[in-house]
Structure 1
Amino acid sequence: PDVGAAISEALACGTHFGASHQGELRWAQKIQALVPSAEKVRFTSSGTEATLLALRLARTATGRTKIMRVRTHFHGWHDHMASGQNSHFDGSSAIGLVPGIAESTVLVDPEDLEAVRDGLAGGDVAAAILEPTGSSTGMVPTSPAFLEGLREATAENGTALIFDEVVTGFRVSPGGAQGHYGIRPDLTAFAKIVSGGVPGGALAGRADFFERLDFDITREKGIEKVGHQGTYNANPVAAAAGLAALTKLEATGACARANAMGDRIRAGLNDAIRAAGVPWAAYGTFSVFHIFTNPAGREDVSPGTFDPFACGYEELRGNAPGAAHKLRLAMNVNGVDLTGWPGGTISATHGEAEIDATVAAFARSLDMLKADGEL
């Protein structure tokens, strides 16, 4: 209700002023209060735009051209992110790109710090970017040790570290994944929660990276300014929704409640898997859950022993033939809609009753799949 009321009030005043406004400043100040690394904030209209701006500023600040990315991690649909997320894992160019873009991208496997160090050794990588809890909301997880090693390696090589917290920002904790892990990136991209569920995004980070956007600083130093226009960047409606949502998150403990329900649903799903005698497992972190359907037919998979870090990204992203689709259909029949990967995200409005109902629906769905000969 608070976010809806803020949107309604902002709409009554206008959707675009053609200038900066007080709501934009308050929104940025709230982000700075919550996010450890947010010395400066620049607003965009989407997460894709935020990561695009991050790369532009990183290349400008370092004078380098290459970008390091982790295979399967998603950072929007712009040209620099077109290969290595869902296809072209060999680094070849996706369709529609001009020559040279894919060649300027260094792809590394998840959790491969040796490949990170090798890729940075040439001193030509402007930035390394990743989703701090892993790709697809942690389906292919990232360990704290990898984050720490990546922060160390990028700092040693003068490479900017960019956290894409479009998903994790203000979900993992009020300060995002970086607040939880205590790891400070140079730049952070935000969207989704940051704008209270309406279109919007932001880039935050070290002040020196933002100097090239500043009219006064670039004029005083006699350096070229980076252009960054956007009609609806920081528009009054997004600013009002974002400020209201972040204020609510900070004041109510919503992240902690959602994370607790994440623990509860993963435990309940694994109990149901164990009771059904199915070689699957539920896993995940914080307020997210994933269901591993064992596409390779591993005999050693069980809820008590499953370790996603022991699997490659191809296996984690795969599914036993037909399993994900039929599981989702069965869950729909039983009154619950899962995300198709399969899995889901928990919000602060999900309480014990909703979690327990989901687990019960999952148990019934496993029985249906067994009766259908799928398990």
Structure 2
Amino acid sequence: MASEDYSLLDMYENAFPNSRKLYQKASTLFPNGVTHDGRYLQPYPIYVERAKGSKKWDVDGREYIDYWSGHGALLLGHGREEVVKAVTEQVALGTHLGACHRKEVEWAELVIDMVPSAEKVRFTSSGTEATLMAIRLSRTFTGKNKLLKFAGHFHGWHDQVILGANPPYETPPPGIIKEVVDTTVIRPPNDIEAVEKTLQTDNDIAGVIIEPTGGGFGTIPTGGEFLKQLREVTSRYSVILIFDEVISGFRVAPGGAQEYYNVTPDLTTLAKILAGGLPGGAVAGRNDIMELLENRKDPEWKSNKKMPHPGTFNANP
């Protein structure tokens, strides 16, 4: 082969032959051969064999510095000794107790001690589940139907929040029903005038959700001044303010962006770092909102207020 014909594609395939073999198998098993949209690469993704600290090694023996850090979940890096020890000890005691346990109490105490908005906590299995719960709580508490979110901000992949997450922001993804589209209001990031005008003219907004450090891992940055304005406006119109701190929680400060900017939301969603690099999420917030998850004997409460929330892996030890 002449040197001028030796393309980048040839170099890639020569460098990662074992990844290519795995991808050929994976393509017969998964759509696009992957299990996450972000892992779809052309001509094929690199397959990782192991990781330790800040490094990863692929199936062809190549070493990398890992700037991705488990989608932001691995604040302590890969294979941190204390984390491995704790997980190993718990596996010996049980991987799924199917009951209340001491660890969930200790975990919740830490969240409440650290996160300013956390008066009560409810654990979930992921950040997507956490935002789903927070939005439903805001609708239940206010008796209103609509959610206001910001273009380019990601809050998971359930129907209401995947709208406006990716450009073109005004075009809903396939499979989202019209009623969901009609109850989701998308506004430009950092535009407090657009938010206030919406709340002035639409009395059916239950909640506003935002990534407090900005969308796209901060590539669409949001500052403290806008958060303060957003807190003031939502309070004035009795709209629930939700900080999605799945990424920023325990990272920007021990108590998240809300501690750093000194702006306290009504509800906070958490995941990633929360579970030490393992699957897990939570909603934390005001007691008068979180109490909607409580069981009570009052029939009217059960019919009109109690928000159901099961979940096989909630607070998994």
Fold shared by both chains (TM-score > 0.5): yes
Partner in structure 2 of residue 301 of structure 1: none
Partner in structure 1 of residue 282 of structure 2: 202
CA displacement at 1:171 relative to structure 2: 0.3
Partner in structure 1 of residue 316 of structure 2: 235
Q: Distance in 1 between matches of 2:144 and 2:168?
A: 24
Question: Which amino acid counterpart does residue 187 of structure 1 have in structure 2?
Answer: L
Give % identity: 50
Partner in structure 2 of residue 131 of structure 1: 211
On the 8 A contact 1:211/1:218 being kept in 2, the answer is no
2:129 pairs, out of 49, 66, 70, with 49
Matched, 1:190 2:270: yes
Give the length in aligned residue pairs: 235
Q: Distance in 2 between matches of 1:156 and 1:23?
A: 39
Task: Provide TM-score, normalisation by structure 2.
Answer: 0.72
Q: Distance in 2 between matches of 1:192 and 1:215?
A: 29
Matched, 1:39 2:119: yes
Q: Distance in 2 between matches of 1:218 and 1:131?
A: 37
1:99-178 alignment runs, 5 A limit: 99-121=178-200, 122-178=202-258
1:265-280 alignment runs, 5 A limit: none
| Runs (4+) off by over 6 Å | none
CA displacement at 1:89 relative to structure 2: 1.4
Q: Distance in 1 between matches of 2:312 and 2:246?
A: 21
Question: Which amino acid counterpart does residue 308 of structure 2 have in structure 1?
Answer: G
Cα shift readout 1:301-328 (whole Å, capped 9, x = no counterpart): xxxxxxxxxxxxxxxxxxxxxxxxxxxx
SS of 2:91 mapped into structure 1: helix
Partner in structure 2 of residue 84 of structure 1: 164
Task: Provide TM-score, normalisation by structure 1.
Answer: 0.61
Q: Which has the higher contact order (CA 8 A, sep 6+)?
A: 2
CA displacement at 1:136 relative to structure 2: 1.5
On the 8 A contact 1:93/1:101 being kept in 2, the answer is no
Q: Distance in 2 between matches of 1:31 and 1:110?
A: 28
Question: Which amino acid counterpart does residue 119 of structure 2 have in structure 1?
Answer: E
Structure 1: tracts of 5 or more residues without a match: 237-375
SS of 1:100 mapped into structure 2: helix
CA displacement at 1:220 relative to structure 2: 8.3
After superposing the two structures, state which structure 1 stretch, 214-223 or 101-110, moved more.
214-223
Matched, 1:212 2:308: no
Question: Which amino acid counterpart does residue 218 of structure 2 have in structure 1?
Answer: G
Cα shift readout 1:116-168 (whole Å, capped 9, x = no counterpart): 00111122100000100101121110011110110001000010000000000
Cα shift readout 1:176-200 (whole Å, capped 9, x = no counterpart): 0001111000000000000000000
CA displacement at 1:87 relative to structure 2: 2.8
CA displacement at 1:93 relative to structure 2: 2.7
Partner in structure 1 of residue 104 of structure 2: 24
On the 8 A contact 1:218/1:224 being kept in 2, the answer is no
Q: Kindly report the root-mean-square deviation, in angstroms, between the aligned alpha carbons of the 2 structures.
A: 1.4
Which protein is richer in helix relative to its size? 1
Q: Distance in 1 between matches of 2:234 and 2:203?
A: 10
On the 8 A contact 1:195/1:201 being kept in 2, the answer is yes
